[in-house]
Amino acid sequence: MPKRYIQKQIQNLTEVSRSKPEVLLLGAVLLYIILVTLKITAFNYVILPRQSIEIFRDKFIYTLLVTLMVSPLLFVFRTRKVFVSLYILQTIFILVNISYYMYFRTYFNITEVPAIFNEGMTAVSHFSAPLSIDLLVAFIDLPIVVFFTINYKKIRVLILKLHLIVILVMVLSAGIVYQIETERYRHVASILQDLEGFFGESKIVESYGTVANNVSKIYEHKDFNLLIKSLKYGQEQSGKEINKVRPNFVIIQIESLDSNAINQTHNGRYIAPYLHALSEKSVFYPYTLSYHMGGGTSDVEFSILNSIQPLADYPAIKLPNYTYPNSLVRPLLKDGYRPYAFHNNVGEFFNRDVAFPKMGFARFFDLKAMGLKDIGWGAPDYAVFKYESNMLKNVRKPFLTYTITMTSHKPFTNAENYYENDAYDDVIDKKTGDYFNSVSYADQSIRSFVDNINKNFPNTYIIIVGDHTPDINTDEYKQASFMEGDQYFEFVPLFIVTPDHQIRMEDKEVASFLDLSPTILYASGIEFKIKSDGVNLLDPKRKSPRIPLVDRSFDREELFQKISAAPRE
């Protein structure tokens, strides 16, 4: 390195140290680096299932080193537009990731954007995106970013003036990072080893952050056929024809119906009096493990109708070229059943208008097909049930219907558009009060529909199941969920109303969505084959296998003990 060049850099540093304005600018640069480091560290920290001072410390140090390596590159450009644009993109990225994690308890991946962009924007437009004080993390550095934007040219001149020192800091930081990575690799804790399947997403986020996690997912999702091959089918189950008179099946999937809602009271009254009473007049599973992952609510019908886990980080219902070979509907259709599906929303939402026919449904009735009006968000549940009831009068039996409700969708204000009930006006937390009101409406709508089915189609199994928890944990309501390690568990109620009026309340084991397909197929009395890790929930002598969830499996009795012991108030 030329001596004259070094002397010039020393001279520049001396001049900067003697210039008060430039000293202030240099202090602003250091403050910017600290605040950006704090923001990124805090952002990654709040979406970690495992938290500690040591994790925060290590994350801060690693992020600081990376920030020192990368930040000077922001001032390579003459215009401030790139700097501002990158800040806006980073802020959006942080907000989306925190909201996604708070709702799904799993990580958002950039590979999902093409698949869920429309659904995400629709949810935002209806104020359905989760809100949390943690979102403020995205704005920790906003004041200093505004200062940098105003003084961009001056800061750029300062950095260029001290570019030798800047380069030395970047190289030193890179050297330390290299040493850290060498040590991690030696202990089998490097992201390079993760690409070979050594550890999971939370560990990547803890060590490297969400950007690195996204890079690893892009690597994993480079081929949709690999995602299809990653779907895990269970053991083959089969049944022989046992009767000639086929029962009907009516499946109702209730939006945001949480296990704890069934026994929830307010001012001494149940918020769902009909469903509470039904829990004592049916085969009732108070806790059913929900598969609510990369595809949101669509994961529920995917897992129920196909008896396989959905994907943790991609909406399985949107997999191109997937043919649904394990669909519950196919053997029923082959035996003469007429299968129909109904939903309050438009069919394009989560690809249902394409996926349901592929599964074997004769027709999927969405908002448009039923000729119903969009009120709030989607058609009212009652209107959908009324349409379905009228249609079934002319349908050849036996039939199977699958109805996905929507009135009780977040932010739980849909019911207010057509349901007057002041019973929950005194609930302190508005979101909780709105949820109680939504459940009350759903409860009444279901009662009317079920009474109609029982009256007109007595040889019918009616299955009512929640889809996922409402994301509410307040003094007035605590949802049925818990976190254990990296794994999030949420539970919904399941009612099976049988033609012979069986009554049983499960008090030892949890059920899962995987159980519904074998239960229905065995109850149908048809000859069938299906691959499933589920069980026939109507067989009291069954052996209950462990429930698979992501890459592990869990004992049903242990899960029941944990969730039933979780605090409710």
The pLDDT confidence band at residue 212, using thresholds 50, 70 and 90, is confident
DSSP 545: P
Higher pLDDT pick, 473 / 216:
473
Residue 371: burial class (beta carbons within 10 Å; 0-12, 13-18, 19+): exposed
Lowest mean pLDDT among 89-93, 184-188, 346-350, 553-557: 184-188
What type of residue is 172? L
**Mind listing the pLDDT tens digit for each residue in 357-403?**
999 999 999 999 999 998 988 999 999 999 999 999 999 999 999 99
477 in Cβ contact with 432 (< 8 Å): yes
The pLDDT confidence band at residue 113, using thresholds 50, 70 and 90, is low
Q: What does each C-alpha distance from 152 to 37, 158, 227, 488 come to in angstroms?
A: 20, 10, 45, 44
Structure tokens at 447: 């009662």
Record: fold of 234-564: Alkaline Phosphatase, subunit A (3.40.720)
414-423: average pLDDT: 92
Res 321 pLDDT > 50: yes
Q: Which of 108, 133, 492 is nearest to 291 (CA)?
A: 492
The pLDDT confidence band at residue 120, using thresholds 50, 70 and 90, is low
The answer for residues whose C-beta is within 8 angstroms of residue 148's C-beta and 6 or more apart is 28, 32, 83, 155
Place of tokens 């010039």: 8
pLDDT of residue 318: 86
Domain ranges for the chain = 3-222, 234-564
pLDDT of residue 198: 46
User: pTM for the full model?
Assistant: 0.80
Print burial letters for 404-435: b (CB count within 10 Å at least 16), e (below 16). Answer: bbbbbbbbbbbbeeebeeeebeebeeebbbbb
Distance CA 189, CA 206 (A): 11
Residue 114: burial class (beta carbons within 10 Å; 0-12, 13-18, 19+): exposed
Structure tokens at 514: 């995987």
Distance CA 537, CA 517 (A): 10
434 in Cβ contact with 413 (< 8 Å): yes
Three-class secondary structure assignment of 54-74: HHHHHHHHHHHHHHHHHHHHH
Structure tokens at 17: 């140290």
127-145: average pLDDT: 83
pLDDT mean across residues, the chain: 89
pLDDT of residue 296: 82
Residue 224: burial class (beta carbons within 10 Å; 0-12, 13-18, 19+): middle
pLDDT of residue 197: 46
**Mind listing the pLDDT tens digit for each residue in 423-450?**
999 999 999 999 999 999 999 999 999 9
Percentage of residues in the chain having pLDDT higher than 70: 92
Q: Which of 499, 398, 401 is nearest to 458 (CA)?
A: 499
Q: What does each C-alpha distance from 205 to 40, 192, 364, 437 come to in angstroms?
A: 11, 14, 40, 38
Res 310 pLDDT > 90: yes
139 in Cβ contact with 87 (< 8 Å): no
Residue 108: alpha-carbon gap to chain centroid: 9
The answer for residues whose C-beta is within 8 angstroms of residue 156's C-beta and 6 or more apart is 75, 78
Lowest mean pLDDT among 58-72, 119-133, 526-540: 119-133
The answer for residues whose C-beta is within 8 angstroms of residue 338's C-beta and 6 or more apart is 362, 395, 396, 397, 398, 399, 400
The pLDDT confidence band at residue 196, using thresholds 50, 70 and 90, is very low
What type of residue is 556? R
**Mind listing the pLDDT tens digit for each residue in 231-271?**
999 999 999 988 788 999 999 999 999 999 999 999 999 99
134-157: average pLDDT: 91
**Mind listing the pLDDT tens digit for each residue in 481-536?**
998 887 889 999 999 999 999 999 999 999 999 999 999 999 999 999 999 999 99
DSSP labels, 499-529: TT---EE--S--EEGGGHHHHHHHHHT--EE
